[in-house]
Chains A and B, each alone.
Chain A
Amino acid sequence: GESVGLHLPTLSVQEGDNSIINCAYSNSASDYFIWYKQESGKGPQFIIDIRSNMDKRQGQRVTVLLNKTVKHLSLQIAATQPGDSAVYFCAENWAAGNKLTFGGGTRVLVKP
């Protein structure tokens, strides 16, 4: 498939540095949040998720932070690697809904 999002906001990061990707979500009733990574020509791939009763969750090299007060979600990637270059999407769901609503995406470019 074609690359997605020629007009996406872009984060350039040096290899080995930490990356922070931000997302503002829309629905104050949302109780589930998820981050996906999408490489060119591929479908979105699950990274990490978090429920609204938590404000932080850690995975392998990734951490998701949730601030419900300002409806803000962030993804932190530690020691960014070239393989982390991709488009990252946040998505939200709420108990009454049965589908994820996606944000517009952020492109991460890792410089060697």
Chain B
Amino acid sequence: GAGVSQSPSNKVTEKGKDVELRCDPISGHTALYWYRQSLGQGLEFLIYFQGNSAPDKSGLPSDRFSAERTGGSVSTLTIQRTQQEDSAVYLCASSFAGQGEKLFFGSGTQLSVL
């Protein structure tokens, strides 16, 4: 596609429920990143996929967070048993080559946990 696409744009859920956030990267980009942006904060790295390599999960805040990337393209970020502190904007980005340079971001999913 023309840019990184994320869905849904907004998600409201109840505490304790599971949520899935979707990211469709730019066609041809081999690297895919998830970041989290809380109110008043910068961007916090969550997870990184590069080709068929094992993902870098070093930024995931707890074992309630997981992500998959199927077929080297679309990625899903799953948050289980959501907590109020999970409320944030979840941003997906993609890039060529995956060298942590010049990421192209989607518009994000605004997650609100009530």
Contact = CB atoms under 8 A, between A and B. Distances in A.
Interface of A: 1-2, 4-8, 32, 34, 36, 41-46, 49, 89, 91, 93, 97-105
Contacts of B98: 98
Given A43-B105, A49-B102, A103-B42, 7 more contacts: A4-B41, A6-B40, A45-B105, A93-B100, A98-B50, A98-B99, A101-B45
Interface residues of B, number: 34
Contacts of B33: 99
B66 interface: no
A43 B106 CA distance: 5
Interface of B: 4, 9-10, 31, 33, 35, 37, 39-45, 48, 50, 56, 59, 89, 91, 93, 98-110
B48 A8 contact: no
Main secondary structure of the interface of A (DSSP, over half): loop
A16 B74 CA distance: 43
A99 B105 contact: no
Given A2-B110, A93-B101, A98-B99, A43 B4 contact: yes
17 contacts: A1-B107, A2-B110, A4-B40, A36-B105, A43-B105, A43-B108, A46-B103, A46-B104, A49-B101, A49-B102, A97-B100, A98-B99, A99-B33, A100-B45, A102-B44, A103-B42, A104-B41
